[in-house]
């Protein structure tokens, strides 16, 4: 048995996977996000740790006792700050926090070769600009920073006492030379840090120490190796078998991602494309990222009070008429690809007194689909191969949303088994690989296909025109939100 743990934004998921690669036990524990000021997004690292324990203890006890290795996945970019004694200095600043936009511009001006070193634009979501902000706005905290850890790596440290990270997650900090798969001393110095502040780097399939005896006893798990793991998207790719050029997936979690695997480092910053290391040796990947995906549907459920998100998905699928309601800009926490605009705002356009909560929900599904299609266009503009797109994440439960997205992208979407637990499943696969008994080719296969959702010709034609209006709305309102 292999244990995979995913430290997400809205919750921690844990899965146990057997030798036949079947998910045999799952559990989860919720998390909440604090927004103390506009553009801010924070979580208490203690909540990750408590939720991790709750999720693991929620798994089948008999199967827990047979676990041979543990893998970790997690939300990327979060700045978790520890002092010399290991105490957390402040709430972690998350991936969808936009406070450091000015710092991104200052960093790029101070080091014009920044994009050449990192392969990425400086964006507020990345970790390095957060520390640049901290040094100026909270200097008393900054002076006590001894270690900066990503969310899953804080949990690893609590599990094992080891300061370690993997290439894929660390590539999203903006402190790495992504081509060389190593920390960049120039980028660290730009934010007043050194390698001593960083964890040791490992490939995602390498072991990084063992679970401590005390935690093992509390969780009912043996003392076993802990794989380096991966950022949530790279781990999701491992779980989906997206490990060869041309293979990709669409992730419908809190954020939305279009992910493409590659066997070479091919940066392209013109359209705000992310170029990171993959969670497996010798591989990289490109991503287009939008900051609100399933969270946009959660938002509609919250403001309308109509139903919980799961019920809202189902009700919308039964009652929606595509392309007839308002148009929704899904920029609830700013945007990355292709706009790189931390000040972008969400909006419903075209509301009338006749519109219902289900019309707003359908508008959210369509707005996210249009934003994802923008990202696909940018990836295609780079010459990237897109042979297949699988779907992972909580939003994969809605086939109706899949039809909306497939029609907006004009591309079929493949649904596979275990799609809802993709990153945790991938973390379990990385756990298996860290034992050194199996090859990547043998473990990282594509899970069985559940079904394929094809573009609907009528919806595709309707969305082509509607998406044009969506794009015009963003550009027409951008100056009003700066």
Question: Of the ranges 349-358, 413-422, 473-482, which one carries the lowest mean pLDDT score?
Answer: 413-422
Q: Is residue 456 part of a domain?
A: no
Catalytically active residues, by annotation: 232
Which 3 state secondary structure label does DSSP give 358? helix
Residue 275 confidence class, pLDDT cut points 50, 70, 90? very high
The predicted model gives 9-30 an average pLDDT of: 96
Read off the pLDDT of residues 47-91 as tens digits, 9 standing for 90 and up. Answer: 999 999 999 999 999 999 999 999 999 999 999 999 999 999 999
Q: Is residue 261 part of a domain?
A: no
Read off the pLDDT of residues 219-260 as tens digits, 9 standing for 90 and up. Answer: 999 999 999 999 999 999 999 899 998 899 999 988 899 999
Chain centroid to CA 374: 18
The overall average pLDDT reported for the chain is 94
Share of the chain above pLDDT 70, in %: 100
Q: Is residue 42 part of a domain?
A: yes
The CATH number of residue 160's host domain is 3.30.420.40
Q: Is residue 367 part of a domain?
A: no
Number of domains in the chain: 1
Domain of residue 164: give its range.
Answer: 2-232
Contact criterion met (CB below 8 Å) for 203 and 156 = no
Read off the pLDDT of residues 151-176 as tens digits, 9 standing for 90 and up. Answer: 999 999 999 999 999 999 999 999 99
Is residue 44 reached through a cis peptide bond, with omega within 30 degrees of 0 on the bond before it? Answer: no
Query: For residue 131, which of 115, 119, 147, 113 has the smallest C-alpha distance?
Result: 147
User: 110 burial class (0-12, 13-18, 19+ CB within 10 angstroms)?
Assistant: exposed
Q: Is residue 389 part of a domain?
A: no
Q: Is residue 473 part of a domain?
A: no
The predicted model gives 362-385 an average pLDDT of: 91
Query: Rounded distance, CA 201 to CA 182, Å?
Result: 7
Query: Rounded distance, CA 96 to CA 79, Å?
Result: 11
Q: Is residue 209 part of a domain?
A: yes
Q: Is residue 361 part of a domain?
A: no
């Amino acid at each position: 048995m292999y244990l995979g743990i995913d430290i997400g934004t809205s919750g921690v998921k844990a899965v146990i996977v057997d030798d036949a690669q079947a998910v045999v036990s799952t559990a989860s524990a919720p998390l909440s996000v604090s927004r103390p000021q506009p553009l801010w997004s924070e979580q208490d690292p203690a909540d990750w740790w408590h939720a991790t324990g709750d999720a693991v203890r929620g798994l089948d006890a008999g199967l827990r006792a047979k676990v041979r290795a543990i893998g970790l996945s997690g939300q990327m970019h979060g700045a978790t700050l520890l002092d010399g004694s290991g105490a957390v200095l402040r709430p972690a600043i998350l991936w969808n926090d936009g406070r450091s936009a000015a710092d991104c511009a200052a960093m790029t001006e101070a080091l014009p070769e920044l994009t050449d070193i990192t392969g990425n634009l400086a964006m507020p979501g990345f970790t390095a600009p957060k520390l640049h902000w901290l040094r100026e706005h909270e200097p008393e905290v900054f002076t006590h920073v001894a270690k900066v850890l990503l969310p899953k790596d804080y949990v690893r440290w609590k599990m094992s006492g080891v300061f370690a990270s993997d290439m894929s997650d660390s590539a999203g900090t903006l402190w790495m030379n992504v081509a060389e798969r190593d920390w960049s001393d120039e980028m660290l110095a730009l934010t007043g840090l050194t390698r001593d502040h960083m964890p040791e780097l490992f490939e995602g399939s390498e072991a990084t120490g063992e679970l401590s005896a005390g935690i093992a006893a509390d969780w009912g798990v043996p003392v076993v190796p802990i794989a380096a793991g991966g950022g949530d998207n790279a781990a999701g790719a491992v779980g989906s078998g997206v490990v060869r050029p041309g293979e990709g997936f669409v992730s419908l979690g809190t954020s939305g991602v279009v992910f493409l695997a590659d066997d070479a480092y091919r940066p392209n910053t013109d359209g705000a494309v992310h170029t990171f290391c993959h969670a497996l040796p010798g591989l990289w990947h490109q991503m287009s990222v939008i900051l609100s995906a399933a969270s946009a549907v959660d938002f509609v459920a919250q403001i309308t009070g109509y139903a919980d998100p799961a019920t809202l998905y189902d009700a919308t699928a039964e009652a929606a008429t595509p392309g007839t309601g308002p148009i929704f800009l899904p920029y609830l926490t700013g945007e990355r690809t292709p706009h790189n605009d931390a000040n972008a705002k969400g909006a419903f356009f075209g509301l009338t007194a006749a519109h219902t909560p289900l019309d707003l929900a359908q508008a959210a599904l369509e707005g996210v689909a249009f934003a994802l299609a923008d990202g696909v266009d940018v990836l295609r503009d780079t010459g990237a191969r897109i042979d297949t797109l699988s779907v992972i994440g909580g939003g994969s439960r809605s086939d109706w949303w899949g039809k909306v997205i497939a029609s907006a992208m004009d591309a079929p979407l493949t649904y596979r088994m275990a799609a809802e637990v993709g990153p945790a499943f991938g973390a379990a696969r990385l756990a298996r690989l860290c034992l050194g008994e199996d090859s990547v080719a043998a473990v990282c296969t594509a899970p069985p296909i559940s079904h394929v959702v094809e573009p609907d010709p009528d919806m595709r034609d309707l969305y082509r025109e509607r998406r044009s209006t969506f794009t015009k709305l963003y550009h027409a309102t951008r100056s009003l939100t700066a």
